[in-house]
Amino acid sequence: MAKSGSRSPFRRTTLDAVQQELARGWPAGLTVLTGDDLYHLDRAQRAILGELAPGEASEFALTVYGEQRVEVATVVAAARSVGMFAPRRVVLVRDVNALEGEPQALGDYAADPPLNSHLIVRAPELDRRRKLGQLLAKAGKVLAFPAVAPQEADRLAGEVAKLAAEKGLKILRPAAVLLAEVCAGNFYRIDSELEKILAWQGGSAAAVTQDVVREVAAGSAALSGWEVAVAVGRRDRPAAHAALRRLFFAGDEPLRLIGGLAYRARGMLQARALIERGMGQAQALRAARLWGDSTSRIVAGLQRYSLDELLAFPALLLAADRTLKSRAIAPFAVLESLLDRMLPAEKQLEARRR
């Protein structure tokens, strides 16, 4: 059991440690669930309640507060009222903001809880300006579930793979990173997209690749024009034009294709700048959220551009965006012209160099 005032050693990105402690026997006392990664917080809450009060409806086993304001003293009294009609006494506070009154009773309870008494407080946000928030941050067992920033989505690849495995899917790491990026690290969205992929594969044992994620997952700027953006990243002019023709005539929206290119261009420019400042290549690609290809291929592609060429991309993309919105020019012609300017032919390059 974590001592009063200590933080639980559990990782935010896994529930394994919670399950292990549940198997050993969840200790009596106060448990505080906090953090803005609500998916893992909710899973931890369900796991703990499922073990401590499995299917119990009796008020002698489980009491839930949070729908209305309630005094701290009332909650603590309920947690201390262990009787003979249930093996454990479990009290859940669904919303920490429902608690009012002097909070010290919570500290006293956490320091000396009755045997088989469990008080669980759900507090995604702890206001440490309040005495209650300060006490909950130090008392009992504090399980923190902080969300990972979108630009650190690659850190979530292992957790995405575990979640996929629970559903019978095997997802390759690049695809897991892409899915975490597309969903901005939100595991409720990741879970939903994995369910869609599971249905789409129809029981196939084939590994989930980046192409599958692009085909099935919800659209975003990161996915729009994926093949075009990757080809631009590699400075592969024929592949970029071929991908543009395929996507455009398959019905992709021109403005979304430009949005996808803009997303990639920003990442390329940021990664190039970070590398030139001395940051490691892999770290720079993570910071720039530049996924979708191997590190070596992405870096090799960046090196095929001068910094001036990359700096010119935003203006080219903005001009194409405005042309699509304001002129009666065929959209495909606008997109082809954009690619020609971003990826000039060798003869044009030679002319520029002269």
Q: For residue 136, is pLDDT > 80?
A: yes
Average pLDDT, the chain: 84
Token pair in block for residue 81: 């009222």
Q: For residue 354, is pLDDT > 60?
A: no
Quick one: which of 18, 10, 119 has its CA closest to 62?
A: 119
Token pair in block for residue 34: 């906090």
Residue type, 67: E
Over residues 246-268, the pLDDT tens digits come to 888 878 789 888 988 998 899 99
Residue type, 118: H
> Which residues pair with residue 171 across a beta bridge?
208
* CA–CA gap between residue 219 and residue 276 (Å, rounded): 32
* pLDDT interval class at 6 (50, 70, 90): very low
Q: Which residue has the higher pLDDT, 82 or 199?
A: 199
**pLDDT value at position 7?**
40
Write down all domains in the chain, each with its CATH number in brackets.
Answer: 16-144 (3.40.50.300), 150-216 (1.10.8.60), 226-348 (1.20.272.10)
**pLDDT value at position 14?**
55
Contact assessment for residue 35 and residue 12, using Cβ atoms and an 8 Å cutoff: yes
Quick one: which of 26, 24, 19 has its CA closest to 44?
A: 19
Over residues 8-20, the pLDDT tens digits come to 333 445 577 788 8
* CA–CA gap between residue 197 and residue 211 (Å, rounded): 11
* CA–CA gap between residue 226 and residue 234 (Å, rounded): 12
Q: Which residue has the tokens 């009063």?
A: 4
Token pair in block for residue 58: 């009796």
* CA–CA gap between residue 241 and residue 276 (Å, rounded): 29
* CA–CA gap between residue 242 and residue 185 (Å, rounded): 32
72-80 mean pLDDT: 95
What is the helix (H) or strand (E) element at residue 75, kind and residue range? helix 72-80
> Which residues pair with residue 29 across a beta bridge?
118
Quick one: which of 65, 95, 96 has its CA closest to 78?
A: 65
* pLDDT interval class at 347 (50, 70, 90): low
Relative orientation angle of helices 226-234 and 331-342, to the nearest 10 degrees: 20
The DSSP string of 124-167 is: SS--TTSHHHHHHTTSSEEEE-PPPPGGGGGGGHHHHHHHHHHT
- How far does the chain reach from its first CA to its final CA, in angstroms? 73
- Looking at residue 171, the DSSP 8-state letter turns out to be B
* CA–CA gap between residue 163 and residue 171 (Å, rounded): 10
* pLDDT interval class at 29 (50, 70, 90): very high
* CA–CA gap between residue 172 and residue 118 (Å, rounded): 40
* pLDDT interval class at 270 (50, 70, 90): very high
**pLDDT value at position 268?**
93
- Looking at residue 6, the DSSP 8-state letter turns out to be P
User: What's the CA dihedral at 37, 207, 230, 330 to 10 degrees?
Assistant: -90
